[in-house]
Homo-oligomer: A and B are copies of this chain.
């Protein structure tokens, strides 16, 4: 039951010049579903990505890191290949060989070098990738390539997602129109520590490689790295930005360029939309919750406290029940691991309702005010620490019966 998930009109997902997308039914795990996607990028584009910090990172993540390092010297990244149904994680050396084999096959079919291909996988961990079926699906995916395929591309990377996730927008910078379109997927095992399960964002600006590298990290830290469903950082998290270079805006070659800042902020807002779609369609979610921690000494401690609240099963079930059992939030603040936290300086708001003041119950707080906010589909928890000027926001959801059902039944 997605939470205020915007209706997406496939016709409103603008093509990005220089980028085409093609899908196939590869029968990776189940028959009769789109589970293979190829994103082709024409020559002259720059591509950058950030990946999971999970130590058990998947084979394709290892290969992506290698290829992103090598590709600029070889003519740049020319295609991305994504399969669902199998994460190719916890698969050791054979898994790594499978990821390389996939790249080699797509390189052969498209006349580029294997290092110009980026592989991605998502699905069940610890099972061998059916690499022959994946390779066999590639010609079909290539044949389907169209610039207008963003919606079907979003569909073809879904796993437990109930809705395809895509967003598109146009911004004007220095009088030049920039088009950006992106897709994402993920609904569980979501606490990106670099990026989400999978996020791909293309724009037509021309951006030099080091600048794009800086941009992707900046954007990830303010979008995909700010959402959490269950605190489970995936083995396959990847967030990729493709800058196809076809727009009329002059090339951006420095982060000091004022156009860089304008573009960076536009991409950040766009990536926030994409990442929030994941929370809105999170497994079993019935509520979309923003946790805003202000007045911290540094961003790290604000994030620590926000995650502590966002991951507390007790807080999450209280949101599911629309029960203003708000002491659970204070308990989560208290065990977040900020050792010198002075709780007597803390104020807690639920939207506009001041629940706790100076670390204790606000004498004017009335249960019915808390109840009113808790019944909403979107809620902001605002915590003021009174220690400094830093702040951080995390977006999350509640914990419902459906989350348990979905994850108890996922493989069956």
Interface flag for A107 (CB, 8 Å): no
Interface residue A323 (Cβ < 8 Å from any Cβ of B): yes
A408 proximal to B (CB < 8 A): yes
Of the candidates B53, B234, B331, B344, the one whose C-beta lies within 8 Å of that of A54 is: B331
Q: How far is the CB of A71 from chain B (nearest CB, A)?
A: 26
CB distance A410 to B325 under 8 Å?
yes
Residues on B with C-beta less than 8 A from A257 are: none
Pairwise interchain contact B125-A327, C-beta atoms closer than 8 A: yes
Of A32-40, A92-100, A108-116, A212-220, the one with at least 4 CB within 8 A of chain B: A92-100
Nearest Cβ in chain B — how far from A61, in angstroms?
11
Q: Which of A55, A93, A128, A234 has the most CB of B within 10 A?
A: A55
Q: A157 on the interface (CB 8 Å rule)?
A: no
Which of B87, B94, B312, B407 contacts A317 (CB under 8 A)? B407
Given A124-B325, A189-B331, A327-B124: A359 and B92 within 8 A (CB)?
A: yes
Is A347 part of the contact surface with B, judged by Cβ < 8 Å?
Answer: no
Which residue of the partner chain, among B94, B126, B233, B335, contacts A55 with CB atoms under 8 Å?
A: B335
Q: Which B residues touch A87, using CB under 8 A? A: 327
Check if A74 is an interface residue, CB within 8 A of chain B.
no
Q: A313–B408 contact, CB under 8 A?
A: no
Complex: how many Å from CA A27 to CA B302? 40
* A333 to B313 CA separation, bound complex (whole angstroms): 20
Restricting to A361-412, which residues have a CB under 8 Å from any CB of B?
361, 399-401, 403-405, 407-412
Are A233 and B54 touching (Cβ within 8 A)?
Answer: no
Complex interface bits, A53-93 against B, C-beta within 8 A gives 1, otherwise 0:
11111000000000000000000000000000001011111
Is A341 interfacial (CB 8 A cutoff)?
A: yes
Q: Is A358 an interface residue (CB 8 A)?
A: yes
Instruction: Report the bound CA distance from A232 to B95 in whole Å.
Output: 37
Quick check: A126 and B334 within 8 Å, CB to CB?
Answer: no
Is there contact, CB below 8 Å, between B360 and A90? Answer: yes
Determine how close the nearest CB of chain B comes to the CB of A8; give it in whole angstroms. 28
Q: Which of B191, B230, B327 meets A89, CB within 8 Å?
A: B327
> Residue A193 at the B interface, CB < 8 A?
yes
Is A231 an interface residue, CB under 8 A from the partner?
Answer: yes
A235 at the interface (CB under 8 A from B): yes
- In the bound complex, residues from chain B placing their C-beta under 8 Å from that of A320 are 404, 408
For A53, list chain B residues within 8 Å (CB). Answer: 335
Contacting residues, chain B, for A330 (C-beta < 8 A): 56, 89-90, 125-126, 235
CB contact between A230 and one of B91, B125, B314 (< 8 Å): that residue: B314
Residues from chain B with Cβ under 8 Å of A339 in the complex: 55
User: What residue in chain B is nearest A315 (Cβ atoms)?
Assistant: B232
A404 with B404: CB separation less than 8 A: yes
CB-based contact A326/B359 at 8 Å: no
Closest-CB distance, A145 to chain B (whole angstroms): 32
Q: Are A356 and B408 in contact (CB under 8 A)?
A: no
B327 touches A55 (CB 8 A): no
A311 within 8 A of B: yes
Residues of A205-258 contacting chain B, CB below 8 A? 230-235
A356-B126, A399-B313 known; A56+B90 contact, CB < 8 A? no
Given A56-B331, A56-B343, A401-B401, 6 other A-B residues pairs in contact with their CB atoms under 8 A: A90-B361, A92-B360, A230-B313, A313-B313, A317-B408, A323-B412
Could you jot down 22 A-B contacts, CB within 8 Å? A55-B335, A56-B330, A57-B334, A87-B327, A89-B327, A90-B331, A90-B356, A90-B361, A92-B358, A95-B360, A125-B328, A125-B331, A128-B361, A230-B312, A232-B314, A232-B328, A314-B407, A321-B408, A323-B410, A325-B410, A401-B401, A401-B405
- A-B pairs, 3 with minimum CB distance: A125-B327, A92-B360, A56-B334
